[in-house]
Amino acid sequence: MKLARTAAIALATGLLAAAPALAQVSQSCIAGLKSRVTRAGVPASLAARALDGARYNEKVVRFSRTQPEFRTPVWDYMTFLVDEPRVADGMANMQKWGKTLEAVEKRFGTDRYIIAALWGIESDYGQIKGEFFLPHAMANLVCANRKKDLFTRQLIAGLKLVQSGDVKYDDLYSSWASAFGQTQFIPETYQRLAVDFDGDGRRDLVNSVPDALASTANFLVKAGWRSSEPWGFEVKLPAGYKGPSGRKRRASVQDWARRGITNVDGSPLKSNFQAGLLLPAGVNGPAFLVGRNFDALYSYNAAESYALAIGHLSDRLKGRGTIAARWPTNDPGLTRAQRLQLQILLLKAGYDIGEADGKIGPVTTVAIKGVQKKNGMKPNGRPSMAVYKALGGR
């Protein structure tokens, strides 16, 4: 009896919790948003068309609140962002769009391999389409009081892109946080930096590869890209290295050479630009000298592992090899193919995770925790090699 009562209370609490959530896109909130948007210069008819149908979207609000339970290790990022299919697809796309990449390189002074790598990681070379209708996603975030000013501005900028003819209304599909198109720009960045490179008069980063590639180059140039320098390169530390590190602690490459740092094959460092020593996993993992161009990549998406993935993928697209040093872990990350296979193995093992799509969402995370608990591992939901092997993956 007592148990039943507790359950009933829990259920009632659950319902109470759900009620304000549903009210998060209340008619009054939508009305307020519409008047805000029209005051900013968006035609009332466009504002109504974009916002009148907005309904509560649990997923958008949940994504905006998700706190990761573990810090994704750099080797996880590197393994799924720079896997063999992404290298092969990149090489094929670089052939296909060779003339465009050459023209972009000429006009902006950016490296074509870097542009291709960014394109490959941002949208899998234009394959990935946005999941959420941008105005509705923004309405959900604003009405749920998630970074209200930022997302109101993205809503306004997104609708103005439609008004100006750059973007078709039906192409306004984005991530939960409004990044969209093949470059994954948020609308304000799009307004500021998008370029019409195919000459049709529209800056169309959803459908035009030339526009997308040129806009990426324009972003990097504005972020300080220098055509005379590489993004960086892998180096070898002397045994027992205890000197300075960090991407912002720059010295000339020759200064680093004097500290005993060499190329990975042990040969002396030859170049001489200003660089920081990046140790993404400490002194026992791979080491890189990275210059100002690394910062330009970092400004695209503020994570060192992201910038490193772009730089490394660009090297792979040039035909260079994988990172020479080993990551200091006995539980490596999974490639995209292995992530998909992990889900298939979870389904086989009886975990009800719906359809295997290679995306590690909350349902897959719960299943992974189950496997980890069963096998005496730390239940943090990380899709790692140990979990994969525990399920029989090879």
Residues of this chain that bind Ca ion (CB under 5 A): 196, 198, 200, 202, 204, 208, 211
**Which candidate, 180, 120, 89, places its Cα nearest to that of 311?**
120
> Cβ 335 to Ca ion, closest distance in Å?
34
Q: Give the residue with the Cβ less far from Ca ion, 205 or 290.
A: 205
* N-term to C-term CA, the chain: 49
Q: Give the residue with the Cβ less far from Ca ion, 204 or 234.
A: 204
> Cβ 214 to Ca ion, closest distance in Å?
9
Which alpha helices (H) appear in 40-174, and where do they start and end? 44-51, 58-65, 74-81, 84-96, 98-108, 112-123, 134-143, 148-163
Spatial separation of the C-alpha atoms in residues 186 and 178, rounded to whole Å: 5
> Cβ 197 to Ca ion, closest distance in Å?
6
> Cβ 160 to Ca ion, closest distance in Å?
17
Beta strands in the chain (DSSP E): 132-133, 173-174, 232-236, 246-252, 262-263, 274-278, 287-290
Contact between residue 109 and residue 225 where contact means Cβ atoms under 8 Å apart: yes
Q: Give the residue with the Cβ less far from Ca ion, 199 or 392.
A: 199
Q: Give the residue with the Cβ less far from Ca ion, 146 or 202.
A: 202
Q: Give the residue with the Cβ less far from Ca ion, 194 or 287.
A: 194
Q: Using CA atoms in the order 134, 136, 138, 139, what is the torsion angle rounded to 10 degrees?
A: 160
> Cβ 89 to Ca ion, closest distance in Å?
23
Q: Give the residue with the Cβ less far from Ca ion, 219 or 256.
A: 219
Spatial separation of the C-alpha atoms in residues 280 and 262, rounded to whole Å: 18
Position closest to Ca ion via CB: 196
Contact between residue 181 and residue 142 where contact means Cβ atoms under 8 Å apart: no
> Cβ 70 to Ca ion, closest distance in Å?
42
